[in-house]
């Protein structure tokens, strides 16, 4: 009964369009943009920027971004990748430390790619970056109630934040933890968002970048102001594969999109939730991850996802991240309220000569990825989706995609969001929701967003397990 009730609430359809996001307020902001004449790209961008204020442990201006964009009338999606390259001095730093993995701390801080990604998304819209950022600026200035999910992530990251901010920071004051419901104002982030509207992809080429480089290098990191100049988002054809006899598109390397294709190509179509079906897909996912992974243990909770669709047929899914664990590197840039990502430390393989080792200008592998699936009948309709979750993104996306291969009605979309989820622990062991000793009911930390557009009424769905929501206009 609980899943049935949740299924009814996780779906939204509207004649203007629909938005799914990791926070209800963000999804609502996206639909406001649709009502103001924006398209799906404007809506997704506004929702994503709002999430940088609402979900700072997960995503932010100093993080990175991947997306699939499908303009109306296009045969398929285009991939957008905004992952910052390695700083020029990172290889020397790795050698100096004996190639000791720098998963958190100053040496882990990566060159931010998110501003280039947000700016590129604005280029697909029609209202501009300033209009998209306006609601986020207002949230940061007025303040937002500290949510239960942010409080939980802050508690889990308490020792990390204290290590790198012993005098406290906005997200963890020196003397106490923020209480659920306490209003958190972020004036520095509000100003950083304003600077984004002025500088776009060059956000870190100015004073914020100089402050970031100084703060990181003082603490033993490798980023210089020169590393922060000229970071651009890249567009490319998506990676293409087959699942259940249909084409499946994903974001290409350095994302984990190919691992999702690899896993789904190795199993037959969805046959239900029986043990044999679950174990067959789990085995395929294990093997795909073994071929893909970077050599760093899987972690989660440093990412969020947004998807939007409109009546014209535009559709987009965005995954933006501070990397892992929650609060990224653990460093928060004073004066700007920016959580610094640890994509460089978390994404690179710290082994000399490895093809994913730190090298100047090289982008690290990232577990972030998104997928798109065309209508079964070859029509113009398209499904697009993604989830946060570190390496769990692959098993969780594989489960949702296989469910949607069996049908993409409203009921199918709702079922794909609410059916029991399974995941793999750090040793590759299967953990299933509702199984004693494994995961509680609805205990996976998946947070899927899915949209369907291009044919019929634009529809969005959001995983109800955490704080995701779908809102339509």
Each residue of 437-457: pLDDT tens digit? 999 999 999 999 999 999 899
Task: Quickly name the fold that domain 2-472 has.
Answer: 3.60.20
Q: Is 426 exposed, middle or buried (0-12, 13-18, 19+ CB in 10 A)?
A: exposed
Q: Supply the pLDDT for residue 53.
A: 98
Range of weakest confidence among 11-15, 202-206, 292-296, 406-410: 292-296
430-432 and 449-453: which strand pairing?
unpaired
Q: Supply the pLDDT for residue 273.
A: 59
Asked if residue 206 has pLDDT above 60, the reply is yes
Cα dihedral 209, 342, 262, 452 in deg (nearest 10): -60
Domains in the chain: boundaries: 2-472
Each residue of 302-339: pLDDT tens digit? 799 999 999 999 999 999 999 877 899 999 999 999 99
Residues 6 or more apart in contact with residue 371 via CB below 8 angstroms? 68, 248, 249, 250, 251, 257, 260, 317, 384, 385, 386, 397, 401
Q: Supply the pLDDT for residue 275.
A: 80
Q: Where residue 301 falls among pLDDT bands split at 50, 70, 90?
A: low
Q: Supply the pLDDT for residue 6.
A: 76
Q: Supply the pLDDT for residue 271.
A: 59
Average pLDDT (32-36) is: 98
pTM, two decimal places = 0.96
Contact 342, 328 (CB under 8 A): yes
Average pLDDT (238-254) is: 96
Each residue of 91-135: pLDDT tens digit? 999 999 999 999 999 999 999 999 999 999 999 999 999 999 999
């Amino acid at each position: 009964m609980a899943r049935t009730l949740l299924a009814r609430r996780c779906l939204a359809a509207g004649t203007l369009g629909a938005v799914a996001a990791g926070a209800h307020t963000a999804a609502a902001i996206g639909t406001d943009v649709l009502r103001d004449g924006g398209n799906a790209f404007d809506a997704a961008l506004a929702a994503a920027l709002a999430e940088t204020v609402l979900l700072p442990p997960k995503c932010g201006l100093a993080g990175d971004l991947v997306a699939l964009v499908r303009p109306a009338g296009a045969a398929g999606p285009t991939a957008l990748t905004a992952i910052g390259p390695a700083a020029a001095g990172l290889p020397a730093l790795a050698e100096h430390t004996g190639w000791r993995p720098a998963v958190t701390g100053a040496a882990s801080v990566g060159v931010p790619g998110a501003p280039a990604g947000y700016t590129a998304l604005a280029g697909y819209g029609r209202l501009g970056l300033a209009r998209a950022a306006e609601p986020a600026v207002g949230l940061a200035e007025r303040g937002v109630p500290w949510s239960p999910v942010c409080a939980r992530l802050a508690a889990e990251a308490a020792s990390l934040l204290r290590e790198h901010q012993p005098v406290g920071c906005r997200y963890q004051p020196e003397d106490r933890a923020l209480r659920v419901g306490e209003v958190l104002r972020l004036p520095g982030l509000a100003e950083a968002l304003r600077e984004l509207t002025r500088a776009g992809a060059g956000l870190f080429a100015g004073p914020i970048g100089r402050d970031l480089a100084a703060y990181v290098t003082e603490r033993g990191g490798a980023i210089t102001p020169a590393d922060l100049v000229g970071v651009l988002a890249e567009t490319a054809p998506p990676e293409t594969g087959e699942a259940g006899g249909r084409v499946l598109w994903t974001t290409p390397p350095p994302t984990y999109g190919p691992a999702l294709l690899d896993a789904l190509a190795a199993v037959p179509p969805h046959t239900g939730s029986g043990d044999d079906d679950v174990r067959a897909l789990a085995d395929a996912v294990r093997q795909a991850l073994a071929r893909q992974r970077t050599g760093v243990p899987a972690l989660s909770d440093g990412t969020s996802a947004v998807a939007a669709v409109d009546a014209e047929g535009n559709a987009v899914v965005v995954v933006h991240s501070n990397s892992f664990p929650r609060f990224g590197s653990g460093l928060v840039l004073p004066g700007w309220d920016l959580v610094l990502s640890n994509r460089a430390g978390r994404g690179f393989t710290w082994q000399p000569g490895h093809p994913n080792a730190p090298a100047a200008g090289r982008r690290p592998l990232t577990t972030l990825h998104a997928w798109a699936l065309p209508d079964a009948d070859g029509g113009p309709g398209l499904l697009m989706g993604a989830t946060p979750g570190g390496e769990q993104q692959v098993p969780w996306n594989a489960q949702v995609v296989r469910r949607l291969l069996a049908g993409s009605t409203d009921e199918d979309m709702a079922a794909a969001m609410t059916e029991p989820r399974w995941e793999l622990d750090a040793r590759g062991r299967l953990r299933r929701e509702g199984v004693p000793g494994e995961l509680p009911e609805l205990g996976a930390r998946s947070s899927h967003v899915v949209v369907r557009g291009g044919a019929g009424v634009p529809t969005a769905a959001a995983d109800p397990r955490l704080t995701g929501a779908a809102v339509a206009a």
